[in-house]
Structures are given as C-alpha cells and as structure tokens.
C-alpha cells in the first residue's frame, strides 16, 4: 500500500538521521579538540619566546651555543651523548629580539601556520567557508597576508643594511686588533665606526623628519661604501653616501602597514568563539604580531608610533604570553624611539654602544697607550668582534627564514583561494 511505503520511507529516513547524529557529534568534538590543542600549542610556543631575557640585560655567554638556533635544536637533543648525560643543563634562551630569538619567532610562526591550516582545511566541508562570519574573515586574513609580504620584503632589505653595518664594524675590529695600535689603525677604525654610527642615526632621523612635516619623501637606505665615510661624525655634510640598497615608494610606511593589518582585527564573541572564527582570529593575531616584532627589530622605513598598532584582549588565555612580549617590546621601543636608534635588534644595540665607546677612544687617542686603557680597548674590541661573529653566522639564515615565511604565505594563500574557488563553483545552481 502506498501509505505503508511512505511510512516505511519516513522511518528509514529517521533511522539514517539517527545514525548520522553520533557522527556529526563526533566530528564536532574532534573539531573542538583540534581547536583546543591549537590554542594550547600557541600558548606554549609563545611562552618559550617570553622566557628570553630582555635586551636590557647582557646576553650570557652560554647563549652563544648554536643549539639555541631552531635548526640545531633537534640534532642536539637526539644525540646519544646528550641522552646519556643526565646532568647536562639546556642552554638558556637567546636574548629578546636577538637574531637567534627572531629565528625562533619565525620558526614559531611557521609551526603555528601549518597547524592552523590543518585545523582550517583538513577534513572540513568547504561550504562552511561561504557562511558568515567566515566568508568575511577569510578574505581579511588573505588581505593581511598580502600586506605581510610587503613587510617581509622591507625587513629583508633591512637585514641587508644590518649586514653592511657588520662589515663596517669588522673593518674597525681588524684595525684595532693590531699590536701595537698605531695612529693609522685608529684613524681607519674611527672612519669605519663614524660611517656606521652616522648611517644608524640618519636612518631614524630621516623617518622622524618626514613624519613631523606631515609628508614622506622618496629615499634610499643611506650607506657609505668602504672609503667613502667622513672623518668627523658630527659633520654629516662631509659624508659622501652612496645607495647600496633599495628605493621605496613615497607613501610606504612600516608603521602604517602594521596599523592597516590590525585595524579590523576583532576577537570573536558568543558562539563564534567556538567555531572557525577563532582559529582565523588567532592566526591573524600571530601574523600581525610577528610582522610587528620584525619591524620593531630591523631597520624599516617610517616606524614612528609603531608601539600603538597592536591590541590583544587580555581575557584570552592563549594570548597571555604574546601580550607579555608585546609589553616588553613596546616599552623598549618607546625608550629607543625618543633617542632615535636603528631598531631594537639586540646585536645592533650592543654594536651601537661599543662603536660609540671606541669613537670616543679614537678622539682622545695618544700613543703609546697606557696599560689600563689598552685593556679597556681590548675588551671593547673583543665584544665588537663577538657581535660581528654572531651577525656573520645569523643574518644569512635569518634572511632565508624570512624568505621561507614569504613563500609559505604565498602557498597557503593560493591553497585557500583554491578552496574558495571550489566553493564558488559548487554554489552555482545546476540547470536541469
């Protein structure tokens, strides 16, 4: 009978739906579990970064161990000798905003980004991407990624500038390591250090000048080639600079770029806080923070007011270590911004202090050196040589990691766009 057949079909449908309910619940539970793990991993990774000592304290000698670098951490822990020696203490974390710390930060970003992509895409119905608020949040994240690519380019060129400073400092080191130190070596060292300090000061002075006049002028990183520096750091008009790097657009500003990335970054509320909106917000926050920290550390065009361009709600447990880092870096930035320095990179700050001390020594140089003064100069030269060594070893790998972050964002953006394209095609009604 037709009625019985219809009744049977209805009962069969209910049975199918009942069988599907546990599957749906299990999927939902798995999604919540994945999201919870993602938040915990973010908190752990940034807690490790927060454990680094502030740049205001000198780096301990043990921090120079190569095992502090992300690339060597796994090999050190996996070695048989390390496993047998139960009394070996792990090396202390690198100083905040040092080259090694920035490498750890970028490694953290890459790990978080890979896990985020798994949470967002793997095993998920793509149709969810077309529902609010995801349909708005994903394009926002993709737009932030585009702006982050510009920041990566600027930071890469900034690292090149720091490498040039390292070469100038190395000239001074080689000159002052001669024994005995003569007038010619002191003049050569002073010339290189004067060029170094002038380049650092002019970089931030031009940024401040452009900002105070309400306009930005097209400029290049001002660098002096070897032999092109002036004899007196106070007489900057006598310095003959040649551009070794890149020209930038008149309107480009690192601070404005970070501000644009964070302007519409709002934490999800209510039911959105347990759905896809949360990992999208977390990843967007990580992206903005990492770019903000890079810009604060490495010379970039126009960074005034940078410390005010990031706001993270304090009630979010996973964000607590990130907020702690933001406060530490922000405080340092406000102090250094007033003085006009070339960024917060720990090695650059130390180099600037030692270089100034050696310039002061050169200005008052008298031959022959007193024993006490010679010991003091030797200590400064040894410190500058160690800074140059760290830069020589770390800046190249740092640039490679920035490029890796750049290419990872390009690939991830393309993958998400492919998913969105599939969603768009599946939403087109099929004509019958």
- Burial (CB count <10 Å: 0-12, 13-18, 19+), residue 181: buried
pLDDT of residue 368: 86
Residue (of 290, 275, 279) closest to 109 by Cα position? 290
The pLDDT, as a whole number, for residue 385 is: 98
pLDDT score at 86: 53
By DSSP bridging, strand 220-223 and strand 242-247 are antiparallel
270: left (phi over 0), alpha (psi -120 to 50) or beta: left
Question: What pLDDT sits at residue 54?
Answer: 76
Q: Which pLDDT score, from 0 to 100, does residue 40 have?
A: 96
CB 300 within 8 A of CB 154: yes
- Helix (H) or strand (E) holding 195, with range, is helix 183-212
pLDDT digits (tens, 9 = 90+) for 104-124: 999 999 999 999 999 988 767
Q: Rounded distance, CA 310 to CA 144, Å?
A: 14
pLDDT at residue number 412: 95
Using alpha carbons only, give the angle 337, 168, 351 rounded to the nearest 5 degrees.
Answer: 40
Determine the Cα–Cα distance for residues 160 and 385; give it in Å rounded to an integer: 19
pLDDT of 305 reads 81
Q: Which residues of 33-46 are buried (b: 16+ CB within 10 A; e: fewer)?
A: ebbeebbebbbebb
Nearest CA among 78, 59, 58, 54 for reference residue 67: 78
Sign of CA dihedral 8, 9, 12, 18: negative
pLDDT of residue 428: 52
Q: What is the mean pLDDT of the chain?
A: 78
Residue 143 CB neighbour total at 10 angstroms: 14
Distance CA 332, CA 96 (A): 11
On the question of a cis peptide bond just before residue 219, with omega within 30 degrees of 0, the verdict is no
- Helix spans in 277-370 (H): 277-297, 320-339, 346-363
- CA–CA separation, 289 and 287 (whole Å): 6
**pLDDT at residue 277, rounded to an integer:** 93
Residue 149 burial by CB count (10 A; 0-12/13-18/19+): exposed, middle or buried? Answer: middle
Residue 413: its pLDDT value, please?
Answer: 95
In the chain, helix, strand, coil percent, each to 5? 70, 0, 25
pLDDT at 142: 96
One-letter-per-residue 3-state SS of 60-103: CHHHHCHHHCHHHHHHHHHCHHHHHCCCCCCCCCCCCCCHHHHH
Helix axes 277-297, 99-121, angle to 10 degrees: 160
Which portions of the chain are predicted below pLDDT 50? 1-24, 56-85, 204-205, 207-246, 430-432
pTM of the model: 0.78
- Please confirm whether the linkage preceding 180 is cis (ω < 30° from 0): yes
- Which pLDDT value is given to residue 198? 93
Q: 428 by DSSP, 3-state: which?
A: coil
> What's the rounded Cα separation, in Å, for the pair 298 and 164?
13
């Amino acid at each position: 009978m037709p009625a019985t057949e219809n009744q049977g079909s209805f009962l069969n449908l209910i049975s199918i739906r009942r069988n599907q309910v546990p599957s749906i619940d299990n999927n939902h539970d798995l999604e919540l579990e994945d999201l919870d793990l993602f938040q915990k991993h973010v908190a752990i990774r940034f807690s490790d970064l927060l454990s680094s000592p502030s740049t205001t304290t000198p780096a301990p000698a043990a921090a120079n161990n190569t095992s502090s670098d992300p690339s060597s951490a796994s090999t050190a822990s996996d070695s048989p000798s390390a496993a047998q020696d139960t009394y070996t203490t792990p090396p202390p974390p690198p100083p905040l905003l040092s080259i090694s710390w920035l490498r750890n930060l970028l490694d953290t970003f890459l790990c978080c980004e890979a896990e985020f992509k798994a949470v967002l895409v793997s095993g998920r119905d793509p149709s969810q991407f077309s529902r609010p608020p995801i349909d708005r949040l994903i394009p926002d994240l993709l737009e932030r990624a585009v702006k982050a690519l510009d920041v990566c380019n600027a930071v890469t060129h900034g690292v090149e500038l720091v490498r040039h400073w390292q070469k100038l400092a190395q000239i001074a080191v080689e000159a002052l390591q001669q024994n005995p130190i003569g007038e010619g070596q002191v003049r050569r060292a002073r010339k290189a250090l004067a060029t170094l300090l002038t380049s650092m000061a002019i970089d931030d002075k031009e940024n401040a000048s452009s900002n105070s006049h309400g306009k930005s002028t097209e400029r290049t990183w001002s660098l002096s080639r070897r032999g092109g520096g002036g004899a007196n750091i106070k007489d900057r008009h006598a310095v003959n600079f040649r551009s070794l790097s890149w020209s930038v657009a008149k309107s480009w500003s690192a601070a404005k770029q970070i501000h644009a990335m964070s302007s519409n970054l709002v934490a999800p509320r209510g039911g959105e806080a347990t759905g896809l909106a949360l990992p999208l917000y977390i990843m967007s926050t990580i992206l903005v923070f990492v770019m903000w920290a890079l810009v604060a550390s490495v010379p970039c065009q126009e960074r005034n007011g940078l410390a005010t361009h990031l706001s993270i709600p304090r009630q979010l447990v996973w964000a607590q270590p990130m907020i702690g880092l933001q406060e530490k870096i922000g405080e340092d930035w406000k102090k250094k911004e007033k003085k006009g320095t070339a960024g917060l990179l720990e090695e650059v700050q130390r180099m600037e202090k030692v270089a100034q001390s050696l310039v002061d020594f050169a200005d008052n140089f008298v031959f022959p050196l007193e024993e006490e003064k010679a010991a003091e100069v030797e200590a400064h030269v040894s410190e500058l040589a160690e800074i140059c060594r760290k830069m020589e070893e770390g800046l190249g790998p740092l640039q490679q990691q920035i490029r890796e972050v750049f290419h990872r964002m390009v690939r991830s953006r393309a993958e998400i766009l492919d998913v969105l394209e599939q969603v768009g095609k599946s939403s087109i009604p099929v004509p019958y």
